[in-house]
Amino acid sequence: MAETTAPTRLDIEALRSDFPALHQEVHGKSLVYLDNAATTQKPRAVIDAVDAYYDHDNANVHRGMHELSRRATDGYEGGRAKVAAWIGASDPTELVWTKGTTDAINLVAFAWGMDHLSEGDEILLSILEHHSNLVPWQMVARRTGAKIRYIEIDDDGEWVLEDLPKLLSARTKIVALNHVSNALGTINPVETVVAGVRVRAPQAVVLLDGAQATPILDVDVQALGVDFYAFSGHKMAGPTGIGGLWGRKERLEEMEPYQGGGEMISLVERDYSTWADVPHKFEAGTPNIAGAVGMGAAVDYLQRVGRRAILEHEQELSAYTIERLREMGGVRVWGPRVMERRSGVVSFSMETAHPHDISTILDTEGVAIRAGHHCAQLVMKRYDVPATARASFYLYNTRDEVDRLIDALGTVRSFFG
Ligand code: 7TS
């Protein structure tokens, strides 16, 4: 969706005042929250929308013929329509609410994969995937006999696309790739891969993991020409426990349900049942209604800010961070060299300190980053490191906070030499 009213530069101080959790002290220091790739903080508008739902409208959806149930249903379906438009879907019924990206990918792996994959078929992934876009495919491959193939990455954290022609064939049944990497911050050339798939493996279904893309990119699922798009609300200022799977109508319709139960049936007999229409066929049980309401508020909020401005802001902070890390010396920064190819994720290693020691010392300075394998162990193996330290930004982070990070890394340096 075009964000014509968005300012080109963000008024960070005004935006920061929208996020209550940013304004606190941690270990006696003002909090510097740089763990946004794991989850973002929530603006007051989202918190208030969730509160208002529980204060006034709480009821179950689709069932009750009473005012509160109608309001709950309106909030639930209204949130769906907003989020669908936000990712460029023309039809809100193509958007299935899930618990998040992991849940969405598992839905496709099991509901689509178990019925469409068999011995001799191939699943194409990349080694840059989050475990949630690896492990479900390994589970399904083990049960179906399908084989997994991988796009490799180069030293700059970019896919080695010269290999693509030999990785795609008539055997390729699904291509499942991340749009933006959580481990290295690479904005992946998914358009190039989709074009390659359409030429060399037109039978293949394409799924994109958009967990790190929906918060910053003007995602348009129709223009991308994919079959499935998975994402999480909590990484884009929304609540935890809610996310979505967008799927082409014909794909969703050809799939059997993932789970059985209430809300997903049309008719139940002793020996069989028939299914509700898409998307409700995939939404068994009482759903996360408050989460859907919160997602609607999150999209309204981000729409006002503008994703292009958020991306530019993140890239500016990444560039500044990398420049300051290089000045320090003894630091290896992972991921693309070209700033336009990066998001607001800066993964790095220090020669003298283990990433976990870095994050522990930073925490005592009030600076929150993540250290570890970032659920991307194949990336760590590729670079022969057990873990990296990762600072990740969102719309409310500032250059002053980057300076606080660098100062705290100075403390790490003085500890470990
Ligand atoms: N895919 C990517 C690219 C991700 O970054 C994440 C979460 C997921 C999938 C899974 O999303 P979930 O909402 O279902 O958990 N990434 C991270 C991270 O980088 N640190 O903590 C979670």
Where residue 403 sits, what CATH number does that domain have? 3.90.1150.10
Q: Say whether pLDDT at 325 is over 90.
A: yes
pTM of the model: 0.97
**Rg (the chain; Cα; Å):** 22
Q: Is residue 403 part of a domain?
A: yes
Q: What is the pLDDT of residue 243?
A: 98
C-alpha 314 chain-centroid distance? 16
Q: Is residue 189 part of a domain?
A: yes
Cβ atoms of 224 and 208 within 8 Å: the answer is yes
Q: What is the pLDDT of residue 6?
A: 46
Determine if the peptide bond prior to 279 is cis (ω within 30°).
yes
Strand order in the sheet with 147-151: 95-98, 243-247, 228-232, 205-209, 172-178, 122-126, 147-151
Cβ atoms of 362 and 348 within 8 Å: the answer is no
Q: What is the pLDDT of residue 7?
A: 47
Q: What average pLDDT does the segment 133-141 reach?
A: 98
Strands 122-126, 172-178: parallel, antiparallel or unpaired by DSSP?
A: parallel
Please tell me what DSSP assigns to residue 280: G
Mutation test residue for ligand 1: of 127, 178, 212, the one with most atoms within 8 Å of CB: 212
Q: Which of 150, 156, 155 is nearest to 137 (CA)?
A: 150
User: Are 206 and 270 members of one domain?
Assistant: yes
Q: Whose CA is nearest to atom 17 of ligand 1?
A: 38
Q: What total of structural domains would you count in the chain?
A: 2
Q: What is the pLDDT of residue 64?
A: 75
Q: What is the pLDDT of residue 213?
A: 98
Average pLDDT, the chain: 96
Q: Is residue 5 part of a domain?
A: no
Amino acid at 324: R
- What SS3 state is found at 244? strand
Cβ atoms of 135 and 375 within 8 Å: the answer is no
C-alpha of residue 39 to centroid of ligand 1, in Å: 8
User: Are 398 and 297 members of one domain?
Assistant: no
Q: Say whether pLDDT at 231 is over 80.
A: yes
Q: Is 103 exposed, middle or buried (0-12, 13-18, 19+ CB in 10 A)?
A: buried
Q: Which of 1, 26, 375, 385 is catalytic?
A: 375
d(CA 117, CA 231): 24
Q: What are the residue ranges of helices labelled H in 145-246?
A: 164-167, 190-200, 221-224
Q: Is residue 38 part of a domain?
A: no
pLDDT band at 8 (very low <50, low <70, confident <90, very high): low
Q: What average pLDDT does the segment 98-103 reach?
A: 98
Cβ atoms of 258 and 282 within 8 Å: the answer is yes
User: Are 20 and 95 members of one domain?
Assistant: no
User: Are 320 and 175 members of one domain?
Assistant: no
Which of 303, 332, 353 delimits the end of a domain? 303
Q: Say whether pLDDT at 387 is over 80.
A: yes
Q: Say whether pLDDT at 40 is over 60.
A: yes
User: Are 325 and 353 members of one domain?
Assistant: yes
Q: Which two tokens stand for residue 250?
A: 């014909």
d(CA 291, CA 301): 15
Q: Is residue 105 part of a domain?
A: yes
The torsion angles phi and psi of 301, rounded to 5 degrees, stand at -65, -50
User: Are 54 and 132 members of one domain?
Assistant: yes
User: Are 197 and 266 members of one domain?
Assistant: yes
User: Are 183 and 252 members of one domain?
Assistant: yes
Q: Is residue 4 part of a domain?
A: no
Amino acid at 30: S
Please tell me what DSSP assigns to residue 408: H
* Beta bridge partners of residue 390, listed in sequence order: 347, 370
Q: What is the pLDDT of residue 41?
A: 98
Give tens-digit pLDDT for 109-135: 999 999 999 999 999 999 999 999 999
Residue-wise DSSP of 76-124: HHHHHHHHHHHTT-S-GGGEEEESSHHHHHHHIIIIIIHHH--TT-EEE
Q: What is the pLDDT of residue 63?
A: 76
Q: Which atom of ligand 1 is nearest to the CA of 235?
A: 13
Q: Is residue 37 part of a domain?
A: no
Which of 269, 303, 337 delimits the end of a domain? 303
> Which structural domain range is residue 156 located in?
47-303
Q: Say whether pLDDT at 47 is over 60.
A: yes
Percent of the chain having pLDDT more than 90? 96
d(CA 34, CA 17): 17
User: Are 312 and 287 members of one domain?
Assistant: no
Q: What average pLDDT does the segment 203-220 reach?
A: 98
Q: Is residue 35 part of a domain?
A: no
Percent of the chain having pLDDT more than 70? 98
User: Are 140 and 278 members of one domain?
Assistant: yes
* Beta bridge partners of residue 332, listed in sequence order: 349
State the first-to-last Cα distance of the chain, in angstroms, to the nearest integer. 50
Give tens-digit pLDDT for 233-279: 999 999 999 999 999 999 999 999 999 999 999 999 999 999 999 99
CATH number of the domain bearing residue 196: 3.40.640.10
d(CA 122, CA 353): 41
Q: What average pLDDT does the segment 406-410 reach?
A: 98
C-alpha of residue 359 to centroid of ligand 1, in Å: 19
Cβ atoms of 235 and 210 within 8 Å: the answer is no
Residue 209 near ligand 1, beta carbon < 6 Å: yes
User: Are 158 and 237 members of one domain?
Assistant: yes
Cβ atoms of 117 and 142 within 8 Å: the answer is no
Q: Which two tokens stand for residue 373?
A: 């394998």
d(CA 92, CA 82): 8
Q: Say whether pLDDT at 2 is over 50.
A: no
Q: Whose CA is nearest to atom 15 of ligand 1?
A: 102
375 is catalytic: yes
Residue 374 near ligand 1, beta carbon < 6 Å: yes
C-alpha 160 chain-centroid distance? 22
Residue 142's contacts (CB-CB under 8 Å, 6 or more residues apart) are none
User: Are 244 and 393 members of one domain?
Assistant: no
Residue 34 near ligand 1, beta carbon < 6 Å: no
Which of 241, 275, 303 delimits the end of a domain? 303
d(CA 191, CA 174): 16
Helices 44-52 and 289-305, interaxial angle, to 10°?
Answer: 150
C-alpha of residue 37 to centroid of ligand 1, in Å: 7
Cβ atoms of 264 and 256 within 8 Å: the answer is no
Strands 228-232, 370-372: parallel, antiparallel or unpaired by DSSP?
A: unpaired
